[in-house]
Amino acid sequence: MTESPTDENFTVRHVHPAPRDLVFECLTTPDHLTHFWGPTGTHTPVENIVVDLRPGGAFETTMVSDRGGDTYTMRAVYVEVDAPGYVSWRELDSGVFTEVTFVDLGDGTTEVVTTQRGLPPHMRTPEARAGWGTALQRAATYIAAIAAPEVGS
């Protein structure tokens, strides 16, 4: 499966106050990942992280909810690994493809560009939708905005 350039969901850019080698290491080492992988409201114990950093190697994280201790496992496989400049992986359930590029800005900082591609899975069950209240609200606002007047192109 390949992604076209227009297949992109979003790109997030962040300049980190550290050299490229270290930033790359942080995103590809369980000992580091456990400190920031999250997502917010969850934590990911180091023993819940599998990193086999090579194309075809596993990248798995089992996140634990801070409240209630529910777990959610993200299972992915690395697609391309080119340390310390690039790494990409594909999630097995959804096929969502994430790529991360590390750019040395030459002053000891590193710009990290994270891009995600692929379609979201259909959320069939009411339970799956339940947790999306706020997100749905935001989306509704966004739709209202794009549906408003001028559509020019």
User: Which residues in this chain contact other proteins in the complex, by CB under 8 A?
Assistant: 6-10, 12, 14, 16-19, 21-23, 25-27, 32, 35-43, 66-67, 96, 107-108, 112, 114, 116-120, 122-123, 129, 132, 135-136, 138-140, 142-143, 146-148, 151-153
Look up residue 119 and give its DSSP letter.
P
Closest distance of CB 153 from other proteins, Å:
5
Q: CB-wise, 41 or 56, nearer to other proteins?
A: 41
| Segments in the chain forming alpha helices (H) | 20-27, 30-33, 126-130, 133-147
Closest distance of CB 90 from other proteins, Å:
14
What residue ranges in 25-148 does DSSP mark as E strands?
A: 42-43, 49-51, 58-65, 71-82, 86-91, 97-104, 110-117
Interatomic CA distance for residues 141 and 144, integer angstroms: 5
> Residue 11: which H helix or E strand, with range?
strand 8-16
Closest distance of CB 18 from other proteins, Å:
4
Q: In this structure, how many other beta carbons lie within 10 angstroms of the beta carbon of residue 48?
A: 18
Q: CB-wise, 50 or 111, nearer to other proteins?
A: 111
Closest distance of CB 120 from other proteins, Å:
4
